[in-house]
Amino acid sequence: MDRIRIVSLFFFIVLFLTASIKASSLNLMPMPVKIKPQDGRFIISRELGIEIQGPYSPRVLLAKRRFLHRLAGRTGIFFKLNPESTSIKIVYKKNIKLSPIMDESYTLLINQSGIILKANTDIGILRGIETLLQLLSSDGKHYYFPAVEITDYPRFPWRGLLIDVVRHFMPIEVLKRNIDAMAAVKMNVLHLHLSDDQGFRIECKIYPRLHLFASDGDYYTHEQIKDLIRYADLRGIRIVPEFDIPGHTTSWLVAYPSLAAIPRPYKMERTYGVKNSVMDPTNKLVYKFLERFFKEMAKLFPDPYIHIGGDEVNGVQWKSSKKIAKFMKKHHLKDFHQLQAYFNLKVLKILEKNHKKMIGWDEILHPDMPKDIVIQSWRGKKFLYNAAKRGYYTILSNGYYIDLAQPTDFHYLNDPIPEGVELSPEERKRILGGEATMWSEIVSPETIDSRIWPRTAAIAERLWSPGTVKDVSDMYRRLKIITQQMEELGITHIKNQDMMLRRLARYRDITPLKIFIQTVAPVQNYERHKSRTYTVFSPLTRVVDAAVPDPPLPREFESMVADYLSTGDRAIENRIINYLILWKDNHNSLKELIEISPVLKEIEPLSENLSIISALALERISIKERGQTPDPRWIERAKRTLEKAKKPVAELELLVAEPIEKLILSITQ
C-alpha cells in the first residue's frame, strides 16, 4: 500500500511540474490570476467562427472584428467566417458603464473542440479576448491555442497612463494608438494632462481665448474629444481630464490675466520647471470663471472624475500680494497650504455641483478636504499610505514616472502594497491602483511610444496580476514577445528608431549606428535637463532621442558575463568575444558617418570609449588564455579607462561599460 502511495505521489508531482512548465512558457502579460494547463490544443483553421451569447454590445462586436483581423494578420489564414461555425463561444450577462469600480473578470476555457470565453460583463470579454490573442502559438505546421483553463480578474481597479499633451502636443492618432496598446495589456484609465504653463490644449467655447491665445494653435476640438472618448470607451478605457490649478497656470493667465494673483500681461512659457504664475484664491471672479469653465468640461467628459492638479504651488506670487496677506489674516489661514485648501474646497463645490468627483496630486491633501476625493501620490509612498490611513482613496504614481528613463524592473518591482507594509484591510482597499506618467518635456509624437512602451506593459502587470507574480527574468522573457506584438496596433516604439537613425546618418547605411545605439540608453531621472536648457522648440531628433530606456542587449550581455564568470563556459566566452570584437571595430565604421553628419559628432567620444574598453576586455581574456596574470599597472590603467567610459556623454550612458568592467576585473586564472 505504501508503495502504491509513493508511486501515485510520484506521478502527481510529475503531472504538477509538467503543468507548471507549460504555464511558465506562456507569453502572457499581465499574467492571469489562475492558469491550469490542459492536455491538447485547439488548432486554428479557415472554419473558425465566433458565436456571441449576450445582449447587443458595440464593444464586443468591435472586439470580435479586431480579434479576427489581428488573428488573420498573425497567421495569414483566410477565414471563411461561416456563421454556422461556433468554435469560439463568447458568453456574457450584461453591458456596463465604465466606472472606477467595474467587473473586469473573465474565464477562458480552451480544449481540442473549441473555446469558451465567459464574463459577467462586456468589459470582462474585452479583457479575455486580449489574453486569448496572447495565447496564439505555432508548432511549424499549425497555428493553435494551447488547451488551458484561466480564471482572471484585476488586483487593482485603477490602472492608468497619464499622457502630458501640453509640453509637447500629441495629435489624436498618437492617443488612439496608445489607447489600443493600453487595452492590449488591460489598462483602463487614460489621464490627459490638458493644461499647464506651456499651453492650453482643449477648445473652450465659453472662454475661447484659452485655446485661441494659449495653445499655439495646437488643441483638441470638442468633436475630437468626443470621438476620442467613444474610441476609448469601446476598448474599456476611461478618459480622465486634468486641468492644473491654481499653479501651473501661465497659459490660463495669458488668455485671462485677471485670474492671476498678480494681474499683469503674461507670455507663454517656453521653458520647463516650476513657475511662479498662480491664480488668486481671494478673487470671487476666479470662482465664477471656474464655475462656467467646469460646467462646460463636465458635459464634455462623462467620467465621474476631474483632476485639478494642485501640485508645485510655490507661493511666490501669493507672498508678494498685500491683498492676499490681508485675506489670509482675516480668514485665519496660517500658511499657503491652508490657502490652497481654501481654494480647493471652493473648486470642489463647483465640481460637485456638476456631479463630478475631485482628484489631485498629493499636495491637495488637507484635513479640511472630504474623504471622497482621490489623492494621486507622486512624491513618495509615505504620502500614499498617509492618505489611505486618513481615510482617502489613493492612486500611486511615484515609481511609475516613465519619463525618467529608468529600467523596466525598477517599475515592475514598485508595488503599491508590497509585502510587510502595515495597512489594515480597509486601508488597503483605499489604494485603488496606480498610473504611469508620461510627462512630455523631452518627447515628441515621434518618440513618445518608445518612452511609454514596452516598460508600461510591466507596470500594467504589476497593477493587474497578483503581488506574488514578480519574477523579473520571466517578466523580461514575456515582455520581449509582447513588445513586438504591439507593433500590429500601430505603436512606433520599434520602427521609429531606424527611421531616426537613417535621418541622422543622412540616409547612408545605419549598421554602425545600430550597433552603437544597442549599447547605450538616455541618462536617467532629470539629468538631461542639467546638461542643457530644453524648450518647447528644442529638437528631439538626436541620438539620445533615438536611444531607448532599458535596451535588451546590455542586460543580456551582463547576464552572459555573470554566467561566464561563474562557469568559465567556453561557448559563452566565444559569444562574449564576438560582441567585444564587434564593438571594438565598430568605431572606425561609425567615424565615417560622423564625418558626413555633424549632429553625430557628440557621440564620437562614447563610441571611442566603447571601442577602447572592448579592446581591453579582449586583451584580458587573451592574458587569461595564456595562463598569465595582468601587470598591476595594466589593471590600474584599465580601471581609469573604465571609469571614464562610465561617465555620460551626449546625455547617453554606455550600459555595457559595467559588465565589461566586471569581466576585466573579475576574471581569475
CB burial class (10 A; 0-12, 13-18, 19+) of residue 557? buried
Looking at every residue in the chain, the average pLDDT score rounds to 95
Q: Is the dihedral of CA 200, 203, 205, 208 positive or negative?
A: positive
Range with lowest mean pLDDT among 4-8, 36-40, 398-402, 538-542: 4-8
Give the chain's count of helices (H) and strands (E).
26, 18
Please confirm whether the linkage preceding 246 is cis (ω < 30° from 0).
yes
pLDDT of the residue at 81: 76
Cα separation values, 296 from 206, 222, 286, 293, 459, Å: 7, 10, 16, 5, 34
Burial of 48 (0-12, 13-18, 19+ CB in 10 A): buried
Q: Kindly state the helix (H) or strand (E) to which residue 145 belongs, with its residue range.
A: strand 143-152
Read off the pLDDT of each residue in 268-287 and give the average, rounded to a whole number: 97
Could you tell me how many residues make up the chain?
669
**In the predicted structure, residue 1 carries a pLDDT above the cut 70:** no
Whole-number Å distance between alpha carbons of 497 and 543: 9
Query: CB burial class (10 A; 0-12, 13-18, 19+) of residue 123?
Result: buried
Three-state secondary structure call for residue 565: helix
User: Where residue 12 falls among pLDDT bands split at 50, 70, 90?
Assistant: very low
Collapsed DSSP state (helix, strand, coil) of residue 102 = coil
C-alpha atoms less than 13 angstroms from C-alpha of 251 in its C-beta half-sphere: 29
Do the domains spanning 2-152 and 166-490 agree at the CATH topology level? no
Kindly tell me if the per-residue pLDDT of 181 is higher than 80. Answer: yes
Using the predicted structure, report yes or no on whether residue 287 has a pLDDT greater than 60.
yes
Contacts of residue 250, defined as CB under 8 A and 6 or more positions apart, other chains included, come to: 196, 197, 198, 266, 267, 268, 269, 275, 277
The b-or-e profile of 133-144 (16+ CB within 10 A means b, else e) is bbbbeeeeeebb
User: In this structure, are residues 436 and 459 in contact, taking their beta carbons and an 8 Å threshold?
Assistant: yes
Contacts 24+ apart (CB under 8 A), 573-578: 573/621, 576/617, 576/621, 576/663, 577/618, 577/621
Task: Decide: 573 and 621 in contact? Cβ < 8 Å.
Answer: yes
CATH of region 166-490: 3.20.20.80
Q: Three cell numbers at 192? A: 490627459
Catalytic residue numbers, as ranges: 312
**C-beta separation of 415 from 139 below 8 A:** no
Residue 23's pLDDT band (cuts 50, 70, 90): low
d(CA 593, CA 377): 46
pLDDT of residue 8: 44
Q: pLDDT-based confidence at 84, cuts 50/70/90?
A: low
Whether the predicted pLDDT of 505 surpasses 70: yes
Residue 53 predicted with pLDDT over 50: yes
* Distance from C-alpha of 313 to C-alpha of 318, rounded to nearest angstrom: 10
β-pair type (114-121, 137-138): unpaired
- Under CATH, to which class is 2-152 assigned? alpha beta
Residue 285, burial from CB neighbour count under 10 angstroms (0-12, 13-18, 19+): exposed
Please report where in the chains the cell 499549425 appears, as a residue.
142
Q: Which grid cell sits at 621?
A: 581574456
Boundaries of every domain in the chain? 2-152, 166-490, 496-666
CB-based contact 369:341 (threshold 8 Å): yes
Rg (CA), the chain: 28
Rounded CA separation 548/568 (Å):
32
Give the cell for residue 456.
508600461
pTM of the model: 0.95
Cα 426 versus chain centre, distance: 28
Tell me the C-alpha distance between 308 and 243, whole Å.
5
Q: Are 187 and 215 in contact (CB under 8 A)?
A: no
pLDDT in tens, 636-665: 999 999 999 999 999 999 999 999 999 999
Beta bridge partners, 359, equal: 307, 374
User: In this predicted structure, what is the pLDDT of residue 19?
Assistant: 42
Pairing type for strands 50-53 and 189-196 reads unpaired
Q: What is the pLDDT of residues 109-147, one digit of tens each?
A: 999 999 999 999 999 999 999 999 999 999 989 999 999
Q: Which residues contact residue 56 at a Cβ distance below 8 angstroms, ignoring those fewer than 6 apart? A: 95
